[in-house]
Structure 1
Amino acid sequence: MRIGVFLVAAGFPGRPPGQVLRDTVEAVAAAEEAGFDDAWIAEHHFMSYGVCPSAATLAGVALGRTSRIRVGTAVSVLSTRHPVDLAEQAAILDHASGGRFALGVGRGGPWVDLEVFGTGLERFERGFAESLDLLCSALERDTVAADGEFFRFRPVPMVPAARLRPVVACTSPPTVALAAERGLPMLLGMHVGDEEKAEAIRSYRELAGGRVPGRGAFRDGPVRVPPMPGSAGPGPSEDGGPGHIAAAVGYVADSTAQAVRELRESMPRWLEPGLAGYVPVDGRPRPRRDVGAYVDFLCATHPVGSADHCVASIERTAAATGLRHLILMVEGAGDHARTLENIRRLGAEVLPRVR
């Protein structure tokens, strides 16, 4: 079982964005010390839900602050980026970190970002498959060219070249099919429960003809890493094994009642203004969510509670879905000191038992 942290760089009220970014890097360093396998950073634009507009940039800072933990993007939004530019950034981080960088990509949404960055609604609606294929080509080959609807250019060398396979955020059946057709691992969100995750994995397996996904989001080929703190043997010798990844809220307290109470008090202060930041590019109605009900769902579905409860929740998810790689959103309290405490307690009280 691989367990990582998932950092949204959440803009809780009263927390300056610059401080949130510094705290996010410190949280990655704390996760390394606590024994987590990896850390994944989210990317958002023009909103307080997440104040990191470039997950790859912040991942680079975090990689420079650490020596063992692998750091990834969850996700870099492909609809607003040129795939070759993103591949070049990924290659830099891969080489400079000795293979500790992971690339997660997603389609994003029909938000105002498309207008600001000039990619347009068409890239979101029709261009994700072409963008993903070009990204994979740029990550897998020494030379890349394009002759499609959205990208057209002569062959150019990839310098430096990388050998990475991205993980793809999948929130809809068409994206599941896209990932399955290309043999790319899925990243499943924390907004769905075990049953929905299991169904996505079953669908992937059927569409892929029973094949498991290829190597994950890390470099192709063996990468030796030091042992986990407190472990009896070596760390993974490759990329952790092929497989999908799922995000979940992870929050430990002395009792389950205390953990739920703390998140019910804190998370709506972040979610109410944060979710309002999703502004459609074309005037379509913005999806609404009952924030209180959403927090209750997260607390009931994910490892939120005592250490015993968190262990049982992770084991239940693994049994129901077959997942062997979870990344835990640890920032739910909205307080940096409590986030660091949460990371340390999860590392000490939960990780050894689920591994």
Structure 2
Amino acid sequence: MRFGVFLAPFHPVGQNPTLALERDLDLIVHLDKLGFDEAWIGEHHSAGFEIIASPEVFIAVAAERTRHIRLGTGVSSLPYHHPLMLADRMVLLDHLTRGRVMLGVGPGSLPSDAHMMGIDISAQRRMMSESLDAIMALLAGDAPVTMKTDWFTLNDARLQLRPYSRPGLEVAVAATVSPAGPQAAGRHGAGLLSIGATQTKGFDLLGETWKTMEAAAGGPVDRGTWRLVGPMHLAETREQAKRDVDFGLARWIDYFKNVAALPLAPDTDDTAEMADAMNANGFAVIGTPDDAIAQIERLQEKSGGFGSYLIMAHDWADTAETRRSYELFARSVAPHFQGSVTALTGSRDWASANRESFIGEANAAIMAAFQKKD
């Protein structure tokens, strides 16, 4: 299993936005050093909290500061872009990063963004589907693309650069509880980003989500291309985790209750009660690495299997505690699912089981050396 982060990001209003963006970049560097596999960067244009307007620009900067972590748009809102321009930018990034970028796509999550651009909110999923048809054809490069819709035109369009990645630029489609995402992913052979995986309704629908994707694909789909997203904050104890999130959980909840939309937002002003409610309904993990392991195992059971788990990034805790949370995840949670400590444990157990024999042989060798000296 692979692990990563889904970075919208979520920064409460009232703070220095330049420093907030710098913390986001520092977080990606931190994750790269910890061995996280990937990071997905959001696109938003209003409402104050989610302040990255261009994931491609952010990725270009982050790529220069990191070595291994893969970087995806999480997501590029397709109705906001001409498909040729977006495909061109992503292929350029693919070359500049030597294949470390991924294209995540969606219809756009904030109605206020669409309103400012004069986009009919009811048309966004249809527009996403049309744009994705065009982008996938452009990336394939089999023939020039001619296509006309009520919002974009392509005349004999083709990309000058072929994708650097082989077999091609990885594409993933965002999904919440709507079937539009898995249908589009299945139809195009793309991966799936289940952003609402841990919402109660999303949790219950995970199995149906995959059935929808396979139906659209016309057969079995590689579950390794499925990424599930959910929020976590970890500490050495549950009590410490709850104390940590007293820093910013309430402001995050307030954003979703009064600006965006989070149906599971607890109806309380007490941070500890918020944490308890989110743990109880399975939406989040505010606890220990063992709690995180249990959550991912539950997702495996409910979904039938998936390839990657992405932690939804947030400012619930201050910077030091946030970084510590990711370190605890990398140290204790990821190895549980990746089997990276199996050989070490086996080697230790083998050495322990044979310790008496090995020490006896070593002592005998020492005694023989003394006797030889005499």
Residue 346 of structure 1 corresponds to 329
Deviation sequence 1:25-69 (CA, Å, 0-9, x none)? 110110011111111112221123311111221111111111111
Residues 164-203 of structure 1: matches in 2 within 5 Å?
A: 164-171=169-176, 172-190=178-196, 192-193=199-200, 194-203=203-212
Does the aligned pair in 2 maintain the 1:7–1:329 contact within 8 Å? yes
Does the aligned pair in 1 maintain the 2:107–2:125 contact within 8 Å? no
**Per-residue deviation at 1:22?**
0.9
Unmatched runs of 5 consecutive residues or more in structure 2: 268-273, 339-374
Residue 283 of structure 1 corresponds to none
Q: Which has the higher helix share?
A: 2
Residue 323 of structure 1 corresponds to 306
TM-score normalised by L of structure 2? 0.77
Does the aligned pair in 2 maintain the 1:187–1:245 contact within 8 Å? yes
For 1:64 and 1:157, how far apart are their aligned partners in 2?
Answer: 28
For 2:46 and 2:325, how far apart are their aligned partners in 1?
Answer: 28
For 2:139 and 2:20, how far apart are their aligned partners in 1?
Answer: 31
Does the aligned pair in 1 maintain the 2:241–2:287 contact within 8 Å? yes
**Per-residue deviation at 1:115?**
3.8
Using a 3 Å threshold, how does the CA distance of structure 1 residues 175 and 253 change in structure 2: closer, same or farther?
same
The equivalent position to 1:250 in structure 2, one of 232, 235, 245, is 232
Residue 270 of structure 2 corresponds to none
For 2:276 and 2:145, how far apart are their aligned partners in 1?
Answer: 47
Provide the alpha-carbon RMSD of the alignment. Answer: 2.5
Unmatched runs of 5 consecutive residues or more in structure 1: 214-240, 279-286
Does the aligned pair in 2 maintain the 1:10–1:20 contact within 8 Å? no
Residue 279 of structure 2 corresponds to 299
For 1:76 and 1:88, how far apart are their aligned partners in 2?
Answer: 13
Deviation sequence 1:282-336 (CA, Å, 0-9, x none)? xxxxx57463258656434244311122122212212331112110124342422
Which residue identity lines up with residue 315 of structure 1 in the other structure?
E
Residue 251 of structure 2 corresponds to 269
2:50 counterpart of 1:50: yes
For 1:112 and 1:129, how far apart are their aligned partners in 2?
Answer: 21
For 1:334 and 1:80, how far apart are their aligned partners in 2?
Answer: 32
Aligned residues: 320
For 2:123 and 2:206, how far apart are their aligned partners in 1?
Answer: 27
Which residue identity lines up with residue 69 of structure 1 in the other structure?
I
Q: Secondary structure at the match of 2:24?
A: helix
Q: Percent identity of the aligned residues?
A: 28
Residue 162 of structure 2 corresponds to 161
For 1:40 and 1:149, how far apart are their aligned partners in 2?
Answer: 30
Residue 4 of structure 2 corresponds to 4
Residue 22 of structure 1 corresponds to 22
Does the aligned pair in 1 maintain the 2:84–2:157 contact within 8 Å? no
Which residue identity lines up with residue 176 of structure 1 in the other structure?
P
Rg comparison, structure with higher value:
2
For 1:196 and 1:265, how far apart are their aligned partners in 2?
Answer: 32
TM-score normalised by L of structure 1? 0.81
**Per-residue deviation at 1:126?**
3.3
Using a 3 Å threshold, how does the CA distance of structure 1 residues 15 and 339 change in structure 2: closer, same or farther?
farther
For 2:71 and 2:235, how far apart are their aligned partners in 1?
Answer: 26
**Per-residue deviation at 1:8?**
2.2
**Per-residue deviation at 1:192?**
2.2
Q: Secondary structure at the match of 1:103?
A: strand
Using a 3 Å threshold, how does the CA distance of structure 1 residues 48 and 338 change in structure 2: closer, same or farther?
farther
Does the aligned pair in 2 maintain the 1:107–1:128 contact within 8 Å? yes
Using a 3 Å threshold, how does the CA distance of structure 1 residues 189 and 298 change in structure 2: closer, same or farther?
farther
